[in-house]
């Protein structure tokens, strides 16, 4: 389980990195995009809330409903903030020279990744709160759950797009080796921290989103997939629409996966169970999104038609 967590902990960073890679040249934003994301959050979570809570016969109160939205869906709000300010980030990035971009990235990585993890590690080992030493905020890096980390990873995505356009490429075999080494390093750090402090593995600083190794892992995974000969992208584009709904929906499905039972089984069965649940939950998310899209597309079409000033450019 620790190995799989070490391999997949880069997923949030990877999503943001991909955004920077594809949106680097875009100077236009549409308010319907964040509204659409919030609409998905509200529809799916209210739906699961009603389906799961009403049969209990206890009624619904504000605290119960709020529990379906917070804190699990922090990503939605931070990502929307990034989406809305990203044209200005792009404007600055595109006006920098090549050396200026590298200098900016090195400064950001140094301040908000390499240094940012140090106060967290000290606090973790010291087992007491250390306020005011972080470059991100009074209470530390907040494990990378911040717009600061999102902007950093977004700009790394922009930089990778620059490298691609300049013809620079890293071989896939070398990338695979680097990924294995990175996963092994994250894996090892979790057990080192647990051995020294006695705290739970999944609460270690090695799993912080701003951790340099977690960011490096996201870059390496992205480069591996970018190098693949994917042939026709129609299937990928079709399935990719469920990536955001899968994030919203999977939390509501985890309790039906029998996790407590299967973690007691042998590793081969556990691995097969994890992969099977992942595929099934993604397919469920895909189907639910198609239903949602079919039901809401006419409404958003009417809004788009009458809300002519919903976009802005820089």
Question: Is 88 within 8 Å of 151 (Cβ atoms)?
Answer: no
The strand pair at 311-313 and 28-30 is best described as antiparallel
Kind and range of the H or E run holding 89? helix 74-94
Do 127 and 17 share a structural domain?
Answer: yes
Segment 32-52, tens digit of pLDDT: 999 999 999 999 999 999 999
Q: What mean pLDDT value characterizes the chain?
A: 92
Give the whole-number percent of the chain exceeding pLDDT 90: 73
Range list of β-strands (E), the chain: 28-30, 311-313
**CA dihedral angle for residue 211, residue 69, residue 52, residue 250, rounded to 10 degrees:** -30
Q: Which two tokens stand for residue 40?
A: 């998905």
CA pair distance 143, 204, nearest whole angstrom = 10
Q: Identify whether residues 250 and 109 lie together within a single domain.
A: no
Domain-ending residue, one of 111, 141, 168 = 168
Residues in CB range of 314: below 8 A, 6 or more apart: 27, 87, 88, 90, 91
What mean pLDDT comes out for the span 105-118? 97
Query: What are the tokens at 130?
Result: 């250390």
pLDDT bin (cut points 50, 70, 90) of residue 200 is: confident
Q: Which of 93-97, 120-124, 213-217 bottoms out in mean pLDDT, i.e. has the lowest?
A: 120-124
What pLDDT is recorded for position 237? Answer: 81
β partners of residue 312: 29
Paired with 30 in beta bridges are 311
pLDDT category of residue 264 using cuts at 50, 70 and 90: confident
**Is the residue at 74 inside a domain?**
yes
Are 160 and 23 part of one and the same domain? yes
291 pLDDT band, cuts 50/70/90, is very high
**What pLDDT score was predicted for residue 71?**
85
Pair (144, 292) in one structural domain: no
Q: Are residues 18 and 159 in the same domain?
A: yes
Judgement on whether residues 143 and 274 belong to the same structural domain of the protein: no
What's residue 48's pLDDT?
Answer: 95
* Segments forming the whole domain that contains residue 138: 9-168
Q: Is residue 4 part of a domain?
A: no
DSSP 8-class letter at 48: H
Kindly report the number of other CB atoms within 10 A of residue 96's CB atom: 13
Clarify whether residues 143 and 277 are in a common domain: no
pLDDT of residue 57: 84
Average pLDDT over residues 41-67: 91
- For residue range 127-162, list pLDDT tens digits in order: 777 889 999 999 889 999 999 999 999 999 999 999
Cis amide prior to 71 (ω within 30 degrees): yes
Confidence of residue 231 (pLDDT cuts 50, 70, 90): low
pTM of the model: 0.93
Are residues 33 and 155 both part of a single domain? yes
pLDDT for res 230 = 60
What is the total count of domains within the chain?
A: 2
**Is residue 130 located within the same domain as residue 265?**
no
Looking at residue 232, its pLDDT comes to 57
Q: Please identify, among 116, 138, 168, the residue that sits at the C-terminal boundary of a domain.
A: 168
Residues 48 and 158 in one domain: yes
Q: What is the pLDDT of residue 238?
A: 83
pLDDT at 191 exceeding the cut of 80? yes
Q: Where does residue 296 rank: exposed (0-12), middle (13-18), buried (19+ CB within 10 A)?
A: middle
Region 268-290: mean pLDDT is 95
Looking at the structure, tell me whether residues 161 and 55 fall in a common domain: yes
Tell me which of 168, 203, 225 is where a domain ends: 168
Decide if 218 is inside a domain.
no
Q: Note whether residue 118 is domain-resident.
A: yes
| Helices and strands per DSSP (H, E), number in the chain | 14, 2
- Spatial neighbors of 60 by CB under 8 A, at least 6 apart, are 49, 50, 53, 54
At residue 170, the pLDDT reads: 73
Same domain, 26 and 148: yes
Residue 271 burial (10 A CB sphere; 0-12, 13-18, 19+): middle
């Amino acid at each position: 389980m620790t190995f799989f967590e070490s391999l997949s902990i880069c997923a949030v960073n990877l999503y943001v990195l991909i955004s920077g890679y594809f949106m680097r040249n875009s100077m236009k934003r549409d308010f319907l995009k964040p509204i659409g994301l919030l609409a998905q959050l509200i529809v799916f979570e209210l739906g699961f809330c009603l389906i799961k809570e009403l049969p209990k016969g206890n009624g619904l109160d504000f605290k119960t409903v709020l529990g379906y939205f917070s804190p699990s869906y922090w990503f939605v709000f931070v990502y929307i903030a990034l989406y809305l300010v990203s044209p200005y980030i792009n404007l600055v990035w595109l006006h920098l020279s090549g050396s200026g971009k590298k200098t900016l990235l090195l400064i950001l990585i140094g301040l908000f990744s390499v240094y940012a993890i140090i106060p967290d590690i000290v606090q973790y080992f010291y087992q007491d709160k250390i306020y005011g030493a972080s470059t991100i905020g009074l209470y530390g890096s907040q494990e990378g759950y911040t717009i600061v980390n999102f902007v950093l990873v977004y700009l790394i995505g922009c930089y990778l797009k620059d490298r691609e356009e300049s013809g620079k490429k890293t071989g896939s075999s070398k990338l695979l080796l680097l990924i294995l080494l990175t996963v092994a390093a994250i894996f090892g750090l979790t057990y080192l921290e647990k051995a020294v402090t006695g705290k739970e593995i999944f609460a270690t600083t090695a799993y912080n989103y701003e951790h340099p190794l977690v960011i490096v892992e996201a870059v390496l995974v992205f480069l591996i997939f970018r190098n693949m000969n994917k042939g026709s992208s129609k299937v990928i584009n079709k399935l990719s629409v469920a990536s955001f709904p899968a994030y919203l929906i999977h939390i509501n499905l985890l309790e039906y996966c029998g996790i407590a039972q299967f973690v007691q089984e042998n590793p081969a069965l556990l691995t097969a169970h994890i992969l099977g649940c992942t595929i099934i939950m993604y397919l469920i998310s895909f189907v639910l999104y198609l239903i949602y899209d079919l039901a809401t597309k006419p409404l958003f079409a009417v809004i788009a038609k009458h809300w002519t000033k919903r976009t802005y450019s820089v």
